[in-house]
Amino acid sequence: MRSSVAVVLSVVLVAGCRLAADPPPGSAPGSEAGERSITAVSYGGSYARACVKGYHESFTEETGVRVDLADFQGGLAQVRAQVEAGVVHWDVVDLSVAETVNGCDEGVLELIDPSILPTGPGGELPEDDFLPEMNTECGVGNLLFSSIFAYNREILTGPPPTRLADFFDLERFPGRRGVRRSPEAILEMALMADGVPKERVYDVLSTPEGLERVFRKLDTIKDQVVWWDTSAQAPQLLADGEVVMTTAANGRIFNAQVLEKQPFVIVWDGQVLNRGQLAIVAGTPRLDDAIRFVRHAARAESMAGVGRYIAYSPARYSAERLIDRHFETGTEMWPHMPTNPANMKNYLMTDWRWWADHGDEMLERFTAWLAR
């Protein structure tokens, strides 16, 4: 009897010691004891795949820290909810600059010391090597992506659309349009298509009359719009023939073109460029690993890794030089990149300051307009 009590006691003690010796639990249920992991959150589909191949795998190889993927559709809502509830299970999140700046102001993202940024492969200093305005207090730039519109050549057989205004021209190009269910980019596109010069887009958007004008323009196509939520839906709608053209993130259309041989064409006229960043959720118990992960992602090699799988432009000049061909199909990448001068004849750079200040308002107004 006594010996069995001793056995039980020693088992409990040993288990207790093991638990105490384990690293802080960063692990999903079912992971082996001692294995560390962080959760990286991005937009899923072909972009998430590019990130896994581009730098998640090499990060795990180097550090032994596993990277779990989670999907979301952008926005700060879930981050805010996790921080307010005090249950943080996301660590690193892919966000746009406007979102990181807001999240930083609200204290739901960690400040990132710029001195952690690695130098380039040729010793380039980060402050010279990153493209302008790529990094902010809480966000480290990783890429530039573009909102464009694309059409299916097999469905739209007549004369092809070539200008942004064609997206809003139901007379010459009848048929349903896919648009992301979000005010981002489509407000700018509607104004530019309505003839507002791109330099004045945000000035006009800041006035009540300008907002009226945007929604009047959007009213003209509202009946014909299929709203999509996840980035992967855009190429799907186009492939299914549910829509004749759709707004999309340029990389998604590129992947459908090269990997699935879809007859899609991107119209670069009026493309809306935006900066993507990585940010760390405030209060994560895995802060050290999250910082290591962001530091790893900020290397030129990591950015080039993503750029060899999906057509998003890297945030560093030194990474641009490392990108040549698509890793799986051998397609030349640069003709498909949003920052290729050939694609930048008429582009708009998203004003993150404007969106940081007006984003919530625009979302509210947009939702009100949609529900009517």
Partner 1 sequence: MTSRESSSVSQPVPRPLWRRALGPRLRAAGLALPLVAFVSVTFLGPMLSLLTKSFHDPEVADALPETMAALRGWDGQETPPDEAFAAVAREFVAARTERNLGRTANRVNRVASGMRSVIMGSSREMVEAQAAAEAAGAATDGAFWRETMIAIDTRWGGPEPWRALEAAGQRFTARHYLKALDFERGPDGGYVRAPEVWRIYVPLFWRTFLVSLGVTLLCLVIGYPVAHMIANSPPKRANVLLLLVLLPFWTSLLVRTTSWIVLLQNQGIVNDFLVAIGLIGDDGRIAMIYNMTGTFVAMTHVLLPFLVLPLYSVMRAIPPAYMNAAVSLGATPFQALRRVYWPQTLPGVGAGCLLTFILAIGYYITPALVGGQSGQLISNMIAYHVQTSLNWGLAAALAALLLGGVTLLYVVYDRLVGIDRIGLG
Given 22, 57, 105, 332, the residue binding partner 1 (CB under 8 A):
105
**Between 62 and 240, CB nearer to partner 1:** 240
Contact by Cβ (8 Å): 202, 270:
no
Between 282 and 315, name the residue whose CB sits nearer to partner 1: 282
E-strand stretches of 153-231: 177-180, 225-228
89 binds partner 1 (CB under 8 A): no
Alpha-carbon distance 178 to 225, whole Å?
A: 6
Nearest approach, Cβ of 225 to partner 1 (angstroms)? Answer: 8
Residue selected from 13, 17, 81, 116 as contacting partner 1 according to rule CB under 8 A: 81
Say whether residue 287 binds partner 1 (CB under 8 A).
no
Residue among 211 and 315 whose Cβ is closer to partner 1: 211
Q: Exposure string (b/e) for 268-282, b if CB count within 10 Å is 16 or more?
A: bbbbbbbbbbbbbbb
Q: Which of residues 206-225 bind partner 1 (CB under 8 A)?
A: 215, 225
Q: Binding of partner 1 at residue 87 (CB under 8 A)?
A: no
Residue from 106, 194, 288, 301 touching partner 1 (CB under 8 A): that is 106
Is residue 358 a contact residue for partner 1 (CB under 8 A)?
Answer: yes
- Amino acid identity, position 318: S
- CA atoms of 132 and 130, how far apart (whole Å): 6
Residues facing residue 225 across a β-bridge = 177
How many residues sit close enough to partner 1 to count as binding (CB under 8 A)?
32
Binding to partner 1 in span 138-177, by CB under 8 A:
none
Residue 226 interacting with partner 1 (CB under 8 A) = yes
371 binds partner 1 (CB under 8 A): yes
As beta bridge partners, residue 347 has 271
What DSSP designation does 121 have?
T
What gap in Å lies between CA 281 and CA 70, rounded to an integer?
14
35 binds partner 1 per the rule CB under 8 A: no
The CA distance from 143 to 341, in Å, is 16
Residue 84 vs 324, nearer CB to partner 1: 84
Which residue, among 45, 275, 278, has the nearest Cα to 147 in the 3D structure?
A: 275
Q: Is 369 in the site for partner 1 (CB under 8 A)?
A: yes
Residue 248: Cβ within 10 Å count: 28
What's the closest the beta carbon of residue 364 comes to partner 1, in angstroms? 7
Q: Which residue has the tokens 């892919």?
A: 94
Binds partner 1 (CB under 8 A): choice among 75, 118, 121, 263: 75
Which of positions 240-269 make contact with partner 1 (CB under 8 A)?
Answer: 240-242
Give the closest residue to 95 by CA, choosing from 263, 321, 294. 294
Number of residues that make up the chain: 372
Task: Report the interface residues with partner 1, using CB under 8 A.
Answer: 75, 77, 80-81, 102-107, 111, 215, 225-227, 240-242, 356-358, 360-361, 363-365, 367-372
